[in-house]
Structure 1
Amino acid sequence: MGSCWAVKTFGHTSKAIFPRDFIGIRRYFFCSALLLQHQNCSIRIVVSCKLKNPILFIESYGLFPNAHPLFSVNSLNFSTVFQSSAKMPQRDPHQQYTQFYNVLDLLKSSVGRPNLATATTAHCLAIKIGALAHLPACTSLLTAYSRAKDFNSSLALFDEFDDKDIIFWNAIISAAVENKSYGVAMQFFVEMVEVGCGFDSTTLLLVVSALSHMKYSIQGKSLHCLSIKLGMLCDCSLCNALLDMYAKCGDLTSSESMFAWMESRDAVSRNSMINGFLYNGHPAKSLWCFIEMICLGVRVDTVSLSSAISASTALEELTSGQAIHGWGIKLGYKSDISCSNSLISLYSKHGDTEASELVFNEMVYKDVISWNAMIGGFASNGKTLESFDLLYKMQLTGYAQPDVVTLVTLMSLCAERMLLREGRTIHGYAIRKQMISDALVINSLLDMYSKCNSVVKAEFLFNTIPKRDLVSWNTMISCYSQNRQPKEAQSLFKKLIHQYSQWSLSTLLAVLPSCISPNSLQFGKSIHCWQLKAGFSSNILAVNSLMHMYINCGDLTAAFMLLEKISAKEDIACWNTIIVGYTQNGHFREALATFNMMRQETNVSHDAITLVNVISSCGNLALIYEGKSLHGLAIKTFSGSETRVQNSLTTMYGRCGHTKSARSVFGFCSSRNLCSWNCMISAFSQNKDGRRALELFHSLEFEPNEITIVALLSVCNQLGFLRQGKQIHGHVFRFGLFENCYVSAALLDMYSNCGRLDVACQIFTKSREKSVADWNSMISAYGYHSNGKKAVQLFHEMCESGFRPSKSTFINLLSACSHSGLVNEGLWYYSLMLSEYGVEPVTEHQVCIVDMLGRAGKLQEAHEFIKQIAREPEPGVWGAMLSACNYHGNIEMGRKVAEHLFGLEPENVGYYISLANMYVRAGGWKDAMELRQTIQERKLKKLPAYSLIDVGSM
């Protein structure tokens, strides 16, 4: 015998016996005391029993027989809660129960308005008067618990009955389905068949619903066959359930066959087909089914309209969506929530936020989905302030509070816009509302911190996650990769493999970007092996990532071999991967060669991404004629009207020195964005036309960003406009842009070159998070002011702070040594560049060494240094040598260097003038006149020089 419930009232005690074991598990229940008020009579009921969990919850689907009197105040009889199965009354709709009216009314109230307290009260009353002997009342109580989300109580109540009918079995199966315990629902169905109770079409409908959620199409087909065998397919509801099950399992063929076989199709059948096509990615067929439904005269409902609007959204057909909107208004569904939510998504996707906001404001009742759809619409259309304003209004409502979807939507917006402060605020809200344990929220937070370059916070959050899923690992690995921390990304990947042996294609795609140098090539090859072993060799996305990895690691041959291996499946994305990879890694000629090869393929055509990168390559190589040819190709193929292509053309013409052509492209751009203005301002800045850059900035149609500020500070640097530079500095403070490393570095350069080294030092000292760019700019500032020793000291401080010197660091350091006469130090740092710091010397470093030796009068050592360079030195190196010879009056060596430069750059007039000046200084007027005659014959012109002074307060 099990434990019992003791019901004590007014000195009388009634005991009821419950079994202690339910499905082999002991359940320890709680003790509760309920004081029930009924008219003028008070009943104190003390309930105590030992069961596993609180058993005060049941689910069913509203099976209520005709209500009869079940409770009488004047007749308080206490009976045993359960009778033996032999004495248990069966369902008899004609049997009169004059005592149970109030209990049944209370149960109905609990089912209609799910409330655990109401269900518990009804349970106690039912025990008190013996109503649980009445099977329909128990079914209703089971349903009440289920609707109140207390499935354990439903299970316990169901287990107490030995003699169960089909309706009672259906009630517990329905309870399992409603509480998403689909496996339990299937177990009950199997048990129902085994005990020989039998089943009806309602049972099969419920089981099919469970299989639909579990995506078990094979078992669903078995039930379909069983339904045919038993002749139960005459039930239209069962047919609709089977139709929906096939659609949700991705078997559209069976779903369509089922629909065609059905003799009596109602609106639910057609709605199932509309939703089925939409669910499986066939919005066109979904919309066609809706149109057919209208043509056949079947009255559409809110489900039909909502699905059709969603199909129009997926097809990006605003016109059809608007027509359905009008149809819904005509049918009187204007205020329906589901239709309004779909309309908000439709208009938001097409950028018409005013229309979506109008629909939202006209809604009488808004649920959480409505608010989320509107917030998501604002976010997807770049209306950040409106999104957060709507979030604030949502919190003021008492019926719809932000949920997980709301937070994820806003965190995606913060990640896209790099709004770290707002993202941290949402993080705090998630903690306060106890939503931080949700995996979707945590992963969105990780992604937000990653894209906001806040690796430390992302790392801290990752380490505090109690149960990490694979998405969390992938996001953190990607965070390290995207924020230029390859060692950490690779280490975390190895930890994932060793500890969990879990990984996916997303894992490989997250770790591959960490291979960014030749040092990572071996690791990248091992990832390639993993990819082949996992069977991802034919995945285009995976192959593209591998090609990009090989290009980043400098193995161009391997990247091109991968492209050739997938020649049968290659598309424009594959070609673009190679071209973009070449362009981003400085292999501009290889990018142009690959583009020419792609043009020879008949099955592949270039797109805007292709043109942007090849035009950029032409700009970096100063190939103006090739750039103009690509400009013509863009116009011919209608890609020239795209804003990003026009921006690329503006940049290309600016780098080639053709500011007039750049201004022409900028003027013809119909949809200019902030990037367009930045490209044009930078073009003027790069070509030393600072005044036009400032004039263009004064007519800027957008709020300037970091790129605009850097370009303008560069202009002030060129012109020596300290006053304008200070004004821009004030703008930086007002809009909180000083934390950007490029802005702070540009400010350092501007103040330093304008003679305010003291201000530059203050900016550097007060900078909370110094970047490599800040250190480089400060080293350059000390060198520019001939304080080489301080520059060397700052270099060592930089290394001790954990920063790795870059190519620019050594250019600034060697230049500082050159200006300060620190020859031995400069040669020593040059010798350690590659061996100690992994920086390969380039032309700029070689120019600094030649200039440093030349300033010190060591012309022979400078000449020997040039001879030791492995490759043919660039003209800039020889130009530094010629300047040194001119400075020290070494005509013999200067003549040899100049003759060599004449062969390299015969159109550069500066070399002729330098040699002529050497002749004049040495009294060789005849040779100087011959050189000037040569300049006139070749029509070479020197660019005029000028001096500027900014008149105003400094």
Structure 2
Amino acid sequence: MATPYTQVLPLPRHQHFPKPNPISKTVINDRYFENHPLVLLIDKSQSINQLKQIHAYMLRIGLFFDPFSASKLIEASSLSHFSSLDYAHKVFDEIPQPNLFSWNALIRAYSSSQDPIQSILMFVNMLCEGREFPSKFTYPFVFKASAKMKAIRFGRGLHGMVVKGRDVGLDIFVLNSLIHFYADCGCLDEAYLIFENMQTRDVVSWNTMILGFAEGGYADEALKIFHRMGEENVRPNDVTMMAVLSACAKKLDLEFGRWVHAFIKRNGIRESLILDNAILDMYMKCGSIEDAERLFRKMGEKDIVSWTTMLVGYARAGNFNAARSILNTMPSQDIVAWNALISAYEQSGKPKEALSVFNELQLIKKAEPDEVTLVCALSACAQLGAIDLGGWIHVYIKKQGIKFNCHLTTALIDMYSKCGDVEKALEMFDSVNIRDVFVWSAMIAGLAMHGRGKEAISLFLKMQEHKVKPNSVTLINVLCACSHSGLVEEGRAIFNQMEYVYGIVPGVKHYACLVDILGRAGELEVAEKLINNMPVTPGPSVWGALLGACRLHGNLELAEQACNRLVELEPENHGAYVLLSNIYAKSGKWDEVSMLRKRMRECGLKKEPGCSSIEVHSIVHEFLVGDNTHPQSQKIYAKLDEIAARLKHVGYVSNKSQILQLVEEEDMQEQALNLHSEKLAMAFGLISVAPSQPIRIVKNLRVCADCHAVAKLLSKLYDREIILRDRYRFHHFKEGNCSCKDYW
């Protein structure tokens, strides 16, 4: 029955349509019915419902069994603007002997769909039936599907078939698609070899090779191909220039980017909104906001991409006011724009601002959060330790029926782990069936930061049992787990197996982990020897690990050496000076402390202030050292006095070695320790968090030994669980003990 939205084709009920002769050979081999009224109506259809009407008439008069007529129906139902692949495939399955055109139509349609594997399966089925053989119109779309699936082995098999087929092996359309396939799969050497051996090349050949190099991270090679294109007098088009602009953006070559912009104008290359957006993107990525603003103002037409490019550019440059202004000015605020601002805040270390924008999005409801929004918000929650909001997002995902893919699963595991609830992270990990290497790596990292090294190693072995190949990050996480748990021999064994068991050549970060493992365990000489014999140049992370170990074990001579090497590599690394200053302070060398701090002032470096945060009723409260700006400061300091009295009553004596500046008066020394940010956060937690709930604190620096000792005592005196995350790991304080077993 027709609805107000369904236009019925004008097919008179008694119109006579000529019936085909099912015996005639022309019905199978020729376009005998090319001008049949029903076949002509197929091209005029505007909806699937109209095609279904034609399909019914074709069945009634027997026209559907003519392969050419049926192929026209397949083409319209699979490749038109109103296509329905499900319907097209059902029609295809009814055709007794589909011709090559019908096979190609479905292969082509599936290659551009969300399910490209169906394109490959159609191709294989065609070969198995053996009635039709692939043509130059078949292979390009199978290569396209193979590229989307990253099916490199299958694609190489197709390449072999192309080489054997003389007619298709020289077709420029097929060869261009083959270049694209190899480039898209990261096999640029093979793509270039085909390009070099082509007898003739068109502009598409050059464009595909330039874009392949640009997107593959070989910007210089992309630009060389472009220059060579000019030397061979091949005229570039707008697609060429977009590929070249992509290379400029990857190379961050502003000067050449400006030359390309001028080249486009000078050579009369067809201007378009897409090309303008590519130029805009290049300027922003190359850091020239002025050029981008100039072009943006001149653009006669702007779309959501133009506005979003400006927004992202401002945000990356740290100009969040301008980014916010762009969002407010945009004609239509789609979720991509909101994601750009949320992501920019989150990646710039501004999680509170990221969550503020996320909350605003929830309130105004101008766009629905998507997977990217949720992943960014969860990452911001992880940075802040905001488990209440992170848990709310988890519930939101479930209520909205959003499928838990590997990206969301990884983000949730990371959020729960970094917010101190590793059991919830494990629950999330166990609840999903599909786990890629990133999901496994995130869970291993979660166990590592909570000091559960043996469990992390056990999970690492289980990962291999599930045939998931570890990557470089996985190995870093496992080695970190060994470091935090004092598993020296296990860490050493895993490191030694990296290359010949897992096929991963140890990088600088892996060596830094091993140095950390050895250094924490007191094997400083072994760690120093390892650094001296490294096959790669030791980076800041390596010297930083050694310097941290020297602080733990009080090796002043080696600390000075490590600090000097670290400062050579990173002159603005204030952390190096602070660590060495701490070692001097613990040794009572106050003159050296003063000298270091003077050098820091001369270099314009400042020590990062200690900051501790705690989430209460979904609100994150932050405390600095000696902070008195909190609305409940009076209650917090009263609680601190109560804590000090109870600690004194049980005989606790402050660890004066943690005072890193010269304070002579005894009472002032104690006061300096009492004002540490984590103690303020603990006091606030005791007066604000229900006794049944753990007190969760996040500190931006390493927790000091005095605060660590106090937290252990408070967990026993107040019968509270305190979970403290510092820069390097988690500490779970309960009944007077810490999960780190004082090894941190």
SS in 2 for 1:798: coil
Contact 1:749 1:777 in 2 (8 A): no
Question: Structure 2: which 5+ runs fail to align?
Answer: 1-5, 19-32, 520-525, 613-622, 645-652, 686-695, 698-721, 723-730, 733-737
Q: Mapping of 1:294-693 within 5 angstroms?
A: 317-338=47-68, 340-341=70-71, 344=74, 355-383=87-115, 386-434=118-166, 435-516=168-249, 520-536=253-269, 538-566=271-299, 568-582=300-314, 586-587=316-317, 589-590=318-319, 593-600=322-329, 604-620=331-347, 621-624=349-352, 627-633=355-361, 636-637=364-365, 639-640=367-368, 642-658=370-386, 659-674=390-405, 675-693=407-425
- Give distance in 1, aligned partners of 2:267 and 2:608: 47
Contact 2:547 2:563 in 1 (8 A): no
Contact 1:662 1:683 in 2 (8 A): no
Contact 2:9 2:50 in 1 (8 A): no
Q: Mapping of 1:124-203 within 5 angstroms?
A: none
- Give distance in 1, aligned partners of 2:473 and 2:83: 33
SS in 2 for 1:500: coil
Q: String of CA shifts for 1:527-571, please: whole Å, max 9, x gaps.
A: 1221221235852222211222222222222222221221x3222
Q: CA deviation at 1:629?
A: 4.6
Q: CA deviation at 1:818?
A: 4.5
- Kindly provide the amino acid, as one letter, of the partner of residue 344 in structure 2: S
Contact 1:764 1:774 in 2 (8 A): no
- Give distance in 1, aligned partners of 2:459 and 2:303: 50
Of structures 1 and 2, the one scoring higher in RCO (CA 8 A, sep 6+) is 2
- Give distance in 2, aligned partners of 1:549 and 1:484: 15
Q: String of CA shifts for 1:125-179, please: whole Å, max 9, x gaps.
A: xxxxxxxxxxxxxxxxxxxxxxxxxxxxxxxxxxxxxxxxxxxxxxxxxxxxxxx
Distance verdict in 2 for CA 1:545–1:460, change over 3 Å: same
Q: String of CA shifts for 1:399-448, please: whole Å, max 9, x gaps.
A: 21223333322222232232323322322332233433222222222222
- Kindly provide the amino acid, as one letter, of the partner of residue 398 in structure 1: G
- Give distance in 2, aligned partners of 1:850 and 1:654: 26
- Kindly provide the amino acid, as one letter, of the partner of residue 656 in structure 2: M
Q: String of CA shifts for 1:595-626, please: whole Å, max 9, x gaps.
A: 4234235xx11112112212223433445466
SS in 2 for 1:554: coil
Q: String of CA shifts for 1:326-380, please: whole Å, max 9, x gaps.
A: 4443454433435544555666678966544432222101222322333445544
Match of 1:118? Answer: none
- Kindly provide the amino acid, as one letter, of the partner of residue 421 in structure 1: R
- Give distance in 1, aligned partners of 2:546 and 2:243: 41
Which of 425, 429, 438 aligns to 1:697? It is 429
- Give distance in 2, aligned partners of 1:537 and 1:378: 31
- 1:798 partnered with 2:525: no
Which of 479, 488, 499 aligns to 1:765? It is 499
- Kindly provide the amino acid, as one letter, of the partner of residue 498 in structure 1: E
- Give distance in 2, aligned partners of 1:729 and 1:642: 34
Q: CA deviation at 1:501?
A: 4.9
- Give distance in 1, aligned partners of 2:72 and 2:173: 23
Q: Mapping of 1:29-68 within 5 angstroms?
A: none
Contact 1:748 1:763 in 2 (8 A): no
Contact 1:477 1:511 in 2 (8 A): yes
- Kindly provide the amino acid, as one letter, of the partner of residue 397 in structure 2: F
- Kindly provide the amino acid, as one letter, of the partner of residue 500 in structure 1: N
Contact 2:327 2:338 in 1 (8 A): no
- Give distance in 2, aligned partners of 1:550 and 1:399: 54
Which of 579, 582, 588 aligns to 1:851? It is 579
Q: String of CA shifts for 1:810-831, please: whole Å, max 9, x gaps.
A: 3344334553564565455446
Contact 2:147 2:181 in 1 (8 A): yes
Q: CA deviation at 1:684?
A: 2.0
SS in 2 for 1:792: helix
- Give distance in 2, aligned partners of 1:559 and 1:784: 48
Q: CA deviation at 1:867?
A: 1.6
Distance verdict in 2 for CA 1:764–1:861, change over 3 Å: farther
Distance verdict in 2 for CA 1:770–1:538, change over 3 Å: same
Which of 657, 662, 666 aligns to 1:924? It is 666
SS in 2 for 1:405: coil
- Kindly provide the amino acid, as one letter, of the partner of residue 681 in structure 1: I
Q: CA deviation at 1:723?
A: 4.1
- Give distance in 1, aligned partners of 2:309 and 2:85: 35
Contact 1:744 1:774 in 2 (8 A): no
Distance verdict in 2 for CA 1:381–1:499, change over 3 Å: closer
Contact 1:826 1:849 in 2 (8 A): no
- Give distance in 1, aligned partners of 2:362 and 2:417: 26
Output the TM-score relative to the length of structure 1.
0.56
Contact 2:222 2:247 in 1 (8 A): yes
SS in 1 for 2:137: helix
Distance verdict in 2 for CA 1:535–1:683, change over 3 Å: farther
Q: CA deviation at 1:672?
A: 1.9
Match of 1:3? Answer: none
- Give distance in 2, aligned partners of 1:308 and 1:634: 48
Q: CA deviation at 1:695?
A: 0.9
Match of 2:528? Answer: 789
- Give distance in 1, aligned partners of 2:458 and 2:603: 44
Distance verdict in 2 for CA 1:669–1:783, change over 3 Å: same
Distance verdict in 2 for CA 1:393–1:537, change over 3 Å: closer
Match of 2:443? Answer: 712
Contact 1:414 1:422 in 2 (8 A): yes
Contact 1:436 1:442 in 2 (8 A): yes
SS in 2 for 1:549: helix
Contact 1:318 1:347 in 2 (8 A): yes
Q: CA deviation at 1:507?
A: 1.8
SS in 2 for 1:502: coil
Contact 1:619 1:656 in 2 (8 A): no
SS in 2 for 1:766: helix
Contact 1:643 1:672 in 2 (8 A): no
SS in 1 for 2:409: helix
- Give distance in 2, aligned partners of 1:463 and 1:769: 32
State percent identity of aligned pairs.
Answer: 17
Distance verdict in 2 for CA 1:704–1:722, change over 3 Å: same
- Kindly provide the amino acid, as one letter, of the partner of residue 213 in structure 2: Y
Q: CA deviation at 1:737?
A: 3.6
- Kindly provide the amino acid, as one letter, of the partner of residue 126 in structure 2: M
Distance verdict in 2 for CA 1:654–1:524, change over 3 Å: same
Distance verdict in 2 for CA 1:813–1:920, change over 3 Å: closer
Contact 1:814 1:848 in 2 (8 A): yes
Range with bigger deviation, 445-454 or 535-544: 535-544
Question: Structure 1: which 5+ runs fail to align?
Answer: 1-286, 800-804, 834-839, 880-898
Distance verdict in 2 for CA 1:932–1:605, change over 3 Å: same
Q: Mapping of 1:246-261 within 5 angstroms?
A: none
